Chain A
Amino acid sequence: AQSVTQLDSQVPVFEEAPVELRCNYSSSVSVYLFWYVQYPNQGLQLLLKYLSGSTLVKGINGFEAEFNKSQTSFHLRKPSVHISDTAEYFCAVKGGYNKLIFGAGTRLAVHP
């Protein structure tokens, strides 16, 4: 069965510092990976996705993620965060029947 583990439930960081949000997955089939962001009181918005090809994926708002098959990871990074990046971030893998299997989420708190 496919599953996603987000290793950090909360990540505090200062503004303009780099950040990495960690995600590990387990899957026995082709891997399609997604990162979503949820701002307070809003729905989930796609940040980026990996389907195939280049292992470095660039998304919106300056985020990028690297697919590492040997380590079964798909960590999300941003070189310099802003206050507006404060949100909850969800890693997900596509399962059978086109379903998304989500991790528990990582709350990113950016402090001035």
Chain B
Amino acid sequence: EVQLVESGGGLVQPGRSLRLSCAASGFTFDDYAMHWVRQAPGKGLEWVSGISWNSGSIGYADSVKGRFTISRDNAKNSLYLQMNSLRAEDTALYYCAKDRGWELRGAFDIWGQGTMVTVSS
């Protein structure tokens, strides 16, 4: 079964850091680009970051550029998001999503169930 399982979310104070993980199974992980997408409570979808199959191409939304870092470990079938200098507006459900292609040029055909990040003092 094709599956993405996110972990690492929680309650964190403004200015602190958090690292999210996404464990992939049921497909050849290193054949595909991967993404993080977030959804604030009651709001729409916002693309956060994406990484190509070999980490050669990486992109970030302007809202997180310079604060968040995406990475992947193909040997462990895992995707990560290091989030630093967290702000209240980063509060959201964070989804891991699989790209249909190997570069950042495909729609997202598999999604995890998400991990909640709450930034509050």
The yes or no verdict on A and B being binding partners is no
Residues of B within 8 A of A (CB): none
Residues of A within 8 A of B (CB): none
